[in-house]
Amino acid sequence: MTQVFVEFVMMQAQNAALFLGQIPNPQGGQPEVNLPLAKMFIDQLAVIRMKTRGNLNRDEQRVIDSAVSQLEAAFMEMAGPGAHFFSDAAQGIASPALSPAPEPPAPAAVAPPDAAPPAPPQEEGRKRFTKSYGA
């Protein structure tokens, strides 16, 4: 089981490294950087590390600790100064986070003077959907 666990951790780490641009994309041969996907794989490994705490042997623990710490460092290097790690105290998970991009302001909706009035809302108690299983 140790070998299967180590292979699983290494596969997840390899996926994170792929999206950090450390490994060339097998389809195009060029490095690909996709920080949200890299973050997802790093977060998954961090959750696995937390959920298996106390249940791993020394080698398994060393592999997952090393993978998570190396990937977190690589993520911080790629993400730059706008990235930080936050700790979810309730879950005990350290997770890399990207600063959210500012949302563009929504355009003001102005109805033309000859527009039809909006449709009245449906009644709360009215059945909207039905499901039929045949005859």
Tens of pLDDT, residues 33-67: 899 999 999 999 999 999 999 999 999 999 999 99
The neighbouring-strand residues paired with 24 are: 31
Q: What does the pLDDT read at residue 19?
A: 92
Q: What does the pLDDT read at residue 130?
A: 57
What letter represents residue 130's amino acid? T
Query: In this model, does residue 75 exceed pLDDT 90?
Result: yes
Beta strands in the chain (DSSP E): 20-24, 31-33, 83-88, 93-98
pLDDT band at 28 (very low <50, low <70, confident <90, very high): confident
CA distance 66 to 63: 5
Per-residue buried b or exposed e for 84-120, using 16+ beta carbons within 10 Å of the residue's own CB? eeeeeeeeeebebeeeeeeeeeeeeeeeeeeeeeeee
